[in-house]
Chain A
Amino acid sequence: EVHLVESGGGLVKPGGSLRLSCTASGFSFSSYNMNWVRQAPGKGLEWVSSISSSGSFVKYPDSAEGRFTISRDNAKNLVYLEVNSLRAEDTAVYYCARDTDSWSGHFSFWGLGTLVTVSS
């Protein structure tokens, strides 16, 4: 059974940084693209990054470019999201999600999310 568990969220001051982790199990991790999607309280979904199965290809929306960095460790079945220069508007639940197929762009498996709160 596919299992994704996020960790690393918490309360951080504006301008601060966090590293979010997602531990994957139940599938051949190194064969799938992985993604982060966030959801601000009471708001909709926002895609924030994707990384290819090998880690050689990454993508971000403009809102994350330069501040967010996605990476992965295929030996440990981990995907990370480093978030820097945090702003109040980055407050959200951050979900880790797996592509349905090796590279499909739609997400069949999601974690429960980790809450990041940016506040002084």
Chain B
Amino acid sequence: EIVLTQSPGTLSLSPGERATLSCWASQRVSNNYLAWYQQTPGRAPRLLIYAASSRATGIPDRFSGAGSETDFTLTISRLEPEDFAVYYCQQYGSFPYTFGQGTKLEIK
């Protein structure tokens, strides 16, 4: 099983700032099949990024993903108020699919 570790656990920033979230995999993620999701309280997750760097349909271009093999990042170039949420990475290169424990992005 591939264990995903996200860092930091909590990130405190202000609107307009740049956010960089990390996701490390315990083993190489096959084909860089790594996705990122955003979740706000009481709502279902929303797919942001798949295949490490491809934006999902309708996702603003301030969200970008990068990385390969075991090290991945999600960058939000300029934070909007609606971006403050919890972010999860997920690997789907091998079963069992696994998620990271999440990074909470909070308003400073």
Contacts and interface: CB of A to CB of B under 8 A. Distances in A.
Chain B, interface size category, equals 20 to 34
B99 A108 contact: no
Contacts of A61: 1, 95-97
A67 interface: no
Interface in B51-104: 56-57, 88, 90, 92-93, 95-102
Nearest to A50: B97
A44 B101 contact: yes
Given A45-B90, A45-B99, A59-B95, A108 B47 contact: yes
A44 B44 contact: no
Contacts of A60: 96
B44 A106 contact: no
Interface of B: 1, 33, 35, 37, 39, 44-47, 50, 56-57, 88, 90, 92-93, 95-102
A44 B88 contact: yes
B44 A59 contact: no
16 contacts: A45-B99, A45-B102, A46-B99, A47-B98, A47-B99, A61-B1, A62-B1, A62-B96, A95-B44, A100-B56, A104-B92, A106-B47, A107-B47, A108-B47, A108-B57, A110-B46
B100 A44 contact: yes
B90 A106 contact: yes
Contacts of B95: 59, 61
A120 to B, nearest CB: 27
Interface residues of A, number: 21
B96 A44 contact: no
Interface in A91-120: 95, 100, 104-108, 110-113
Given A45-B45, A59-B95, A111-B44, A105 B100 contact: no
Given A44-B88, A105-B33, A108-B56, A100 B99 contact: no
